[in-house]
Amino acid sequence: MKELVCGPLPEGQNPALYQKIIAAMITGSVAITVANPTDVVKVRLQNQSGSGEKKYKGSLDCYKKIWQHEGVKGLWTSWSANVVRNSVINAAELASYDQYKQILV
């Protein structure tokens, strides 16, 4: 992704910090787009754990009921908020890790 963002770099040259941040934000956005259905199911199962009535019997049942009652769109509920959250987290973790590694090496 870094190559996509800043193009091929000469040997020994590293991308600028802002380029690392952009690349990390893109990968974080793509990752949560793929993983959002799993996050929706996880949150719904966690929310029911404290209540007395169990709406879902497990993960597969939760996927099935979301699909039946809300359609495919239901699996991407809160997608935009998750993209913002995950891209910022990814940018902070990956870009800082890469920057510190560059400084130390």
Structure tokens at 29: 């956005």
pLDDT of residue 24: 92
CA distance 90 to 96: 10
**pLDDT over 80 at 45, yes or no:** yes
> What residue segments make up the domains of the chain, in order of their start?
15-43+54-104
Structure tokens at 93: 């973790």
Q: What is the pTM (predicted TM-score) of this model?
A: 0.78
pLDDT of residue 14: 85
CA distance 67 to 92: 34
Cα angle, residue 90 at apex, residues 49 and 4 outer, rounded to 5°: 140
CA distance 92 to 86: 10
Within a 10 A sphere around the Cβ of 88, how many other Cβ atoms?
14
Q: What is the pLDDT of residues 61-83, one digit of tens each?
A: 999 999 999 999 999 999 999 99
**pLDDT over 70 at 51, yes or no:** no
**pLDDT over 90 at 52, yes or no:** no
